[in-house]
Amino acid sequence: MRQNTSNPESGPREEKSKTQGSQTLQRGLDLLDQVIDGPVKLADLSERMGLTRSTTHRLANALVERGFLTFLPREGYQLGPKLLQLGFLAQSQADVVQIARPHLEALAAASEDVVHLGRLDGDQALYLDKIPGRRRVEISSRIGDRHPLTSTGLGKALMLDDPEAGWTRLLESERENGTHDADPAQWLERMRGYVAAGRAFDLEENEDQIRCVAAPIRDASGAIVAAISLSSAAQYMDDERMASLSDEVRAAAQKVSADLGWTPGVKSPRRPVRR
């Protein structure tokens, strides 16, 4: 008869080891959260974590050895180079179309209107995705189309961080080539309002009888990398509805931004004038 050589205590011991490992990992992640805003000294870190100084020191040193933290004499612990490397890798692997798709679909379903996703392509807005609405409204846009920045809601949302000199240059260029015949003073005043509101409108400027509400998408640095727009026939988009939809479109854009690593309150410096 074969003798059973298994250790009856191996099961409980293994489970205990897994629990301790999970707890250690959780504490390490919590510790990283505590130093996001800058260097933290060991005593303060220990107090924030609710752990003894020796336990906190052990955890912090393990993270320093792996590059997740850096120790500065007389200042304390701060985020390390490994996190910067991982951040760049995560950003390079992020596909804004794939990340945004569920949020676009949810917005389209809730509003029953057409939703677009686009990004800047030179001095034009490149349409990356389109979710059809349930209303019988024909909107002449296709994935891969390029549209003017100054006359589309999506284009204006992409320009919200640009200086006014950049806005003026683009508007003058598009007026000269007949793309957008807008009153410069009125258009600039509206753009200032869009910046304050964090969203932009298309008031039948790009396509007759079509209005839209748009909002920018930001990456981890706070820079605008794309935008969402919700479009419908003017009969379904009076001023009151456009105002009420602003919150929904901004919320959808912020959800995509959060998935790209953006933190509320982080906004990149205004971009230089494109020439």
Answer for the pair 146, 158: CB distance below 8 angstroms, yes or no: no
Question: Where in the chain are all domains bearing CATH 3.30.450.40?
Answer: 94-259
Multiple choice CATH, 94-259, 3.30.1280.10, 3.40.50.2300, 3.30.450.40, 3.30.420.40 = 3.30.450.40
Q: What is the pTM of this model?
A: 0.67
Spell out the long-range contacts of 33-40 with Cβ–Cβ below 8 A and sequence spacing 24 or more: 35/69, 35/76, 35/77, 35/78, 35/79, 36/79, 38/78, 39/72, 39/75, 39/76, 39/77, 39/78, 40/76, 40/77, 40/78
Answer for the pair 149, 159: CB distance below 8 angstroms, yes or no: yes
Answer for the pair 220, 232: CB distance below 8 angstroms, yes or no: no
Q: Calculate ∠ Cα 245-259-197, nearest 5°.
A: 35
Maximal C-alpha separation, the chain: 96
**E strands within 80-182?**
114-121, 124-131, 146-148
Question: Where in the chain are all domains bearing CATH 1.10.10.10?
Answer: 12-89
How far is Cα of residue 231 from the mean position of the Cα atoms in its chain? 21
What architecture (CATH level 2) is domain 12-89?
Orthogonal Bundle (1.10)
d(CA 8, CA 10): 6
Per-residue pLDDT of the chain (275 residues; tens, 9 = 90+): 445 545 555 555 556 555 666 788 899 899 998 998 889 999 999 999 999 999 999 999 999 999 999 999 989 999 999 888 777 666 655 589 999 999 999 999 999 999 999 999 888 999 999 999 888 887 878 888 899 899 999 999 999 999 999 999 999 988 888 777 788 899 999 999 999 999 999 998 888 899 999 999 999 889 999 999 999 999 999 999 999 999 999 999 999 999 988 988 766 655 655 55
